[in-house]
Amino acid sequence: MIELRPLQQFLAVAELLHFGRAAERLHMSQPPLTQAVRKLEGQLGVQLFERSSRSVKLTPAGAALQVSAQKLLAEAAALPAEVKAVAAGLAGRLRLAFVSTVGFGGLPTWLRTFREDCPQVALALLEATLDVQLREFATGSIDAGFVIHTPGNAPAGFERLSIGVEPLVLALPSSDPAPSDAQCRAAPLVIFPREVAPSLYDAILAHHNSAGVAQEAIQMQTIINLVSAAIGVAWVPASLQGLQRAGVAYRAMPGAPQVETSLIWRVDAPPVVARFVEHVRDHA
């Protein structure tokens, strides 16, 4: 294995093309420097310099090593700062999952400001429902995730930051004559599969006296599109009213179930997660 010191000595000679001046720069005598370069040539099995009594020139192999050694030494010099940045959560990679509803709330702004504050952090985003996120956590494929659940029913076994609680509103086809609240609650439902968010699914069905489930769909945008097609009505977070779709109206209903958005992560998450959690807490 080649150590950094011989490469530093080689670079001094390569830059000055003079063993004596290179030795002065390195604060050493010339014979040990000459010996160090010859040892490096022996390790590499190539000649690095063409030497004569009047001049020193780099060989093609020496010129190639000069480029590589400069890069290697620059990386080695930057290494302590890079490692400290990772330990402080200022660099590295954050694998972040989120449910689609968060994408219509504060997530885009949080990501933008976090990128501005921590430009050395690479963000890997995954849009995924709660059930998928739990599987990703189990395999170590994500570091943190935004999820929704009914208040008091956050996924167990995680650290958690509550983002907020909001009521559900009813999305209904705007083409229908204005129905009463009772008629709305009796309409067939468009809803996500129960395994996606069991506590929220159960709360909706307990509140909605419907003619049954007309259609299941996973993505919230798909659910809204199905409501637009008059397939049924859907309970969605109030913040989703920003998702305007022709043929869909939103109605606040008395006694509607509430939904909580949380950021969850494992206790052994990398430092960048703590940095992101702090950022969201400060900007939520």
35 and 120 share one domain? no
Strand bridging mode 159-173 / 49-51: unpaired
pTM of the model: 0.78
170 and 240 share one domain? yes
Give the model's pLDDT for residue 152.
87
Residue 104 phi, psi (nearest 5): -95, 0
Q: What range defines the domain where residue 134 resides?
A: 93-162+260-283
CATH number at 269 reads: 3.40.190.10
CATH number at 18 reads: 1.10.10.10
Give the model's pLDDT for residue 186.
86
Output the average pLDDT for the chain.
93
Of 64, 133, 56, whose CA–CA distance to 100 is shortest?
133
Q: How far is CA 104 from CA 86, 96, 213, 277, in A?
A: 30, 16, 25, 19
- Total tally of structural domains belonging to the chain: 3
36 and 101 share one domain? no
Q: How far is CA 144 from CA 52, 63, 99, 131, in A?
A: 63, 47, 12, 14
5-28: per-residue pLDDT in tens? 999 999 999 999 999 999 999 999
Give the model's pLDDT for residue 243.
78
254 and 178 share one domain? yes
Q: Are 184 and 172 in contact (CB under 8 A)?
A: yes
d(CA 261, CA 161): 9
213-270: per-residue pLDDT in tens? 999 999 888 999 999 999 999 999 998 887 788 999 999 999 999 999 999 999 999 9
66 three-state secondary structure: helix
44 and 152 share one domain? no
Last residue of a domain, one of 28, 51, 86: 86
> What length is written for the chain?
284
